[in-house]
């Protein structure tokens, strides 16, 4: 991509005003028209949200989007939508023992509401605060219970089963961290207390070691910053066996939304771990060593994104997609979501942009910040900003599962395009909150702002 050297957050101010106006219209349309009896909305088909997927991992993004709309605009209609639906519909996600997605569903709802209270966006209420905290504590503990031991640590396994380490979970594991920092303990057999932070750190280390590549000769496709969507382990002896992909083209190519989860997840965990006292890590790993591992993973994945993304900061769905060579050197031109060969995935760009900005601010590295802002500027305009009244999505050109053929191919097109997803819509809103705070010189948006001891540090 071509990083704009002169771009600044203030340059996006007008685009954000237009964005939030459109965003509110989309949220109201879904609230009024979507039939929730069909399950959580996942992605659009011809502009209307539909339900499809392996798990209900997007419901929190639906109500979380309304909460972020309230945060950006102060319109309490959206607060009421988000809070009411969180209370009435999100409880099953707290005790869902079949998924790794707790940090997606429950931080975007309970976590945002608790953060609002701590940041004085909503009135303080002790019982309501206790309710949100209890939700986060339990969700983090349930996530931690999905545990596979390995020869050198362990990981939170994906919904595929105990053999499966997903790169996605590097961002979802943040709810486990919150649970620990709220003083919660997971109890096992014989009342043994299971250290939640230990499990979170071991998961981070496994992801950094196995899902991320560093150009160190691990295999024939070892390139600095490449990621594998899934890593497969032998659960009998805890040994790593092979890289794999569920939604990417292969285990030896980079599915870019997985890359984006790593970019954002490593950067966020780097921020949080830097705030914790050294005493938290005693008996686990030195704080210094952990920080260096997180920095290496974050820098590698960010560098890979910049190197392998189109000129305008929008990425295609997999950097090794089988027909991507037909686009020529796609990194030297703007992405074309309406091409005839391979889809872009705007959601990967939205998730990655947040991580790029976070890492840049942490390292005081202007290039990463401006890379994130370059991508953000592209996403806030057509053809990625959805301006059509009938279309319920806000971020166009999302891809869910290209290998399975789940994504809609509009009439007259040869590839999936012009559709939105609930995770994409949520993350572009989260990115807009982040950039908006930069414009207003407010403290950074962070998931751990719901904790008194770490807020605004």
Do residues 194 and 144 lie in contact, with contact meaning Cβ atoms separated by under 8 Å? Answer: yes
Amino acid 36: pLDDT: 87
Amino acid 368: pLDDT: 98
Tell me what percent of the residues of the chain surpass a pLDDT of 70.
99
Predicted confidence band of residue 128 (pLDDT cuts 50, 70, 90): very high
pLDDT tens, residue by residue, 152-170: 999 999 999 999 999 999 9
pLDDT tens, residue by residue, 330-382: 999 999 999 999 999 999 999 999 999 999 999 999 999 999 999 999 999 99
Please give the backbone phi and psi of residue 278, each rounded to the nearest 5 degrees, phi first. Answer: -60, -30
Average pLDDT, the chain: 96
- The DSSP line for 347-405 is HHHHHHHHHHHHHHHHHT-HHHHHHHHHHHHHHTSTTTB---TT---SB----S-TTTT
**Residues 15, 198: Cα–Cα separation, whole Å:** 42
Least confident of 95-99, 147-151, 205-209, 222-226: 95-99
Orientation of helix 346-363 relative to helix 366-379, angle to 10° = 150
Q: What is the mean pLDDT of residues 290-307?
A: 98
Orientation of helix 76-89 relative to helix 13-33, angle to 10° = 50
pLDDT at 212 over 90: yes
Q: What is the mean pLDDT of residues 397-418?
A: 97
| List of residues 6+ apart from 134 with CB closer than 8 A | none
Tell me what percent of the residues of the chain surpass a pLDDT of 90.
97
- The DSSP line for 47-105 is TEEE--SSS-TTHHHHHHHHHHHHHHH--HHHHHHHHHHHHHH-HHHHT-TT-STHHHH
**Residues 406, 397: Cα–Cα separation, whole Å:** 14
Predicted confidence band of residue 82 (pLDDT cuts 50, 70, 90): very high
Peptide bond into 135 cis (omega under 30): no
Do residues 191 and 206 lie in contact, with contact meaning Cβ atoms separated by under 8 Å? Answer: no
What does the block give as tokens for 320?
A: 């090794």
Q: What is the mean pLDDT of residues 242-258?
A: 97
Could you give all domains of the chain from N- to C-terminal order, each with its CATH number? 9-450 (1.50.10.10)
Amino acid 53: pLDDT: 67
Amino acid 55: pLDDT: 79
pLDDT tens, residue by residue, 271-289: 999 999 999 999 999 999 9
Do residues 372 and 357 lie in contact, with contact meaning Cβ atoms separated by under 8 Å? Answer: yes
pLDDT at 455 over 90: no
Q: What is the mean pLDDT of residues 223-243?
A: 98
């Amino acid at each position: 991509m071509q990083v704009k050297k002169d771009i600044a957050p203030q340059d996006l101010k007008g685009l954000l005003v237009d964005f939030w106006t459109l965003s509110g219209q989309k949220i109201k349309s879904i609230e009024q028209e979507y039939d929730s009896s069909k399950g959580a909305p996942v992605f659009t088909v011809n502009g209307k949200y539909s339900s499809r997927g392996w798990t209900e991992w997007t419901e929190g993004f639906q109500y979380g989007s309304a909460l972020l709309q309230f945060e950006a605009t102060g319109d309490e209609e959206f607060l009421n939508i988000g809070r009411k639906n969180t209370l009435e519909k999100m409880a099953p996600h707290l005790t869902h023992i079949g998924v790794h997605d707790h940090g997606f569903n429950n931080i975007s709802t309970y976590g945002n509401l608790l953060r609002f209270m701590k940041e004085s966006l909503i009135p303080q209420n002790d019982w309501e605060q206790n309710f949100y905290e209890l939700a986060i504590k339990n969700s983090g503990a349930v996530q931690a219970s999905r545990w596979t031991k390995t020869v050198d640590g362990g990981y939170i396994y994906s919904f595929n089963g105990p053999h499966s380490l997903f790169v996605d979970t590097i961002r979802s594991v943040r709810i486990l961290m919150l649970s620990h920092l709220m003083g919660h303990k997971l109890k096992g057999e014989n009342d043994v207390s299971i250290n939640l932070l230990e499990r979170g750190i071991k998961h981070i280390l496994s992801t950094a070691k196995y899902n991320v590549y560093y150009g160190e000769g691990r295999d024939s496709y070892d390139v600095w910053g490449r990621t594998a969507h899934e890593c497969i382990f032998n659960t009998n002896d805890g040994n790593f066996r092979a890289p794999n992909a569920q939604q990417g083209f292969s285990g030896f190519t980079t599915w870019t939304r997985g890359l984006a989860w790593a970019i954002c997840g490593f950067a966020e965990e780097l921020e949080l771990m830097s705030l914790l006292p050294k005493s938290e890590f005693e008996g686990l790993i030195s704080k210094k060593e952990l920080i260096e591992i997180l920095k290496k993973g974050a820098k590698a994945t960010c560098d890979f994104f910049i190197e392998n993304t189109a000129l305008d900061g929008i990425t295609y769905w997999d950097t090794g997609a089988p027909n991507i060579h037909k686009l020529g050197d796609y990194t030297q031109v703007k992405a074309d979501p309406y091409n005839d060969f391979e889809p872009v995935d705007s959601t990967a760009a939205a998730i990655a942009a947040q991580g790029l900005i976070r890492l840049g601010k942490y390292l005081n590295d202007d290039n990463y910040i401006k890379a994130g802002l370059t991508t953000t500027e592209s996403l806030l305009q057509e053809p990625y900003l959805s301006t059509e009244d009938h279309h319920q999505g806000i971020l166009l050109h999302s891809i869910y599962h290209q290998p399975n053929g789940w994504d809609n191919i509009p009439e007259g097109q040869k590839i999936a395009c012009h559709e939105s997803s609930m995770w994409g819509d949520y993350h572009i809103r989260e990115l807009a909150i982040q950039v908006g705070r930069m414009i207003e010189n407010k403290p950074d948006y962070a998931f751990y702002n719901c904790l008194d001891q770490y807020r605004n540090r």
